[in-house]
């Protein structure tokens, strides 16, 4: 298909495709995405996440498509936000060599990252927050972001050791919703003191735990400002984080089940705090 504004590339070494190299290497990508041309960037994958990138106001760097993805992408190319953004098309073998694996009919985009707010700035502008400590699974972070948007969570605070919220898989699993949530990463010296910052701004901080002596999620009164604090699968929240939180809260589940996946627990918690107050 010969389309105006599209550049066809047949050389995997072409420097114009450098944003898309070694997509499965976390270490390589972390270094690349923070250093290319001195500007941080991130990847989006799929039609919907790419549209959400544009909807969120993030500026695009470029797009890379398999030829069979081009026709469906044409309406996106007509959006004013795509003005001046290069769209590259390459065959399957070229894309595979660039990204480092056989990505079936790729639909990829590179976008500039927006500056992150501070925890204090987020606390001043939000009423509902989710706080993630040391989550190391991209898909869980993506699922939490999608649920957060669905249930009206205003922002996200992440600990110093939490995964990059703009990993390609996170953006994909969230269906691009992570790009619509302001995210503040606490510095090492701010953790878990970042919770004190939230409390100082009028938030209750609810440390989610399966412990029997924690407060029942359905019985605790929902305040005007609340932050749901979640830890990694298995390990859960650190003792210092539990201590820094204003409440320890549990989701009442069947005694036959040990716990919920953190993404599911997040969604239940978000729905609970959105329930009507009587």
**Tell me: the pLDDT tens digits for 104-120?**
889 999 999 989 999 99
Question: Is 255 exposed, middle or buried, given 0-12, 13-18 or 19+ CB atoms closer than 10 A?
Answer: exposed
What local confidence, expressed as pLDDT, does residue 153 receive? 98
Question: Is 71 exposed, middle or buried, given 0-12, 13-18 or 19+ CB atoms closer than 10 A?
Answer: exposed
Domains within the chain, CATH numbers bracketed: 6-112 (3.30.1330.30), 119-273 (3.40.1280.10)
**Tell me: the pLDDT tens digits for 40-86?**
899 999 999 999 999 999 999 999 999 999 999 999 999 999 999 99
The DSSP bridge pattern shows strands 183-185 and 128-133 to be unpaired
Separation between Cα atoms, residue 264 and residue 270, nearest integer Å: 10
Give percent above pLDDT 70 in the chain.
97
What SS3 class is residue 185? strand
Separation between Cα atoms, residue 23 and residue 182, nearest integer Å: 24
Token representation of residue 41 = 């960037």
Please list the residues that pair with 44 across neighbouring strands: 109
């Amino acid at each position: 298909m010969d389309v105006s504004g599209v550049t066809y590339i047949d050389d995997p070494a072409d420097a114009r495709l450098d944003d898309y190299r070694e997509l499965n290497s976390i270490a390589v990508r972390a270094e690349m995405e923070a250093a290319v041309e001195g500007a941080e960037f991130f990847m989006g994958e799929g039609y919907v996440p790419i549209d959400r990138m544009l909807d969120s106001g993030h500026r695009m760097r470029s797009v890379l498509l398999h030829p069979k993805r081009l026709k469906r992408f044409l309406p996106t190319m007509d959006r004013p936000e795509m003005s001046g953004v290069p769209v590259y098309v390459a065959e399957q073998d070229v894309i595979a060599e660039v990204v480092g694996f056989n990505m079936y009919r790729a639909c990829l985009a590179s976008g500039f990252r927006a500056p992150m707010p501070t925890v204090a700035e987020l606390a001043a502008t939000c009423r509902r927050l989710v706080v993630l400590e040391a989550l190391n699974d991209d898909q869980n972070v993506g699922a939490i972001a999608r649920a957060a948007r669905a249930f009206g969570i205003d922002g996200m605070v992440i600990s110093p050791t939490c995964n990059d919220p703009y990993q390609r898989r996170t953006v994909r699993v969230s269906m691009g919703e992570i790009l619509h949530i302001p995210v503040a990463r606490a510095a090492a010296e701010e953790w878990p003191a970042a919770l004190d910052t939230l409390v100082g701004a009028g938030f209750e901080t609810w440390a989610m735990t399966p412990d029997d002596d924690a407060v029942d999620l359905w019985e605790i009164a929902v305040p005007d400002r609340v932050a749901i604090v979640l830890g990694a699968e298995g390990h859960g929240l650190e003792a210092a984080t539990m201590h820094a939180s204003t409440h320890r809260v549990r989701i009442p589940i069947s005694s036959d089940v040990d716990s919920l996946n953190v993404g599911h627990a997040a969604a239940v918690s978000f729905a609970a705090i959105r329930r009507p107050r009587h």
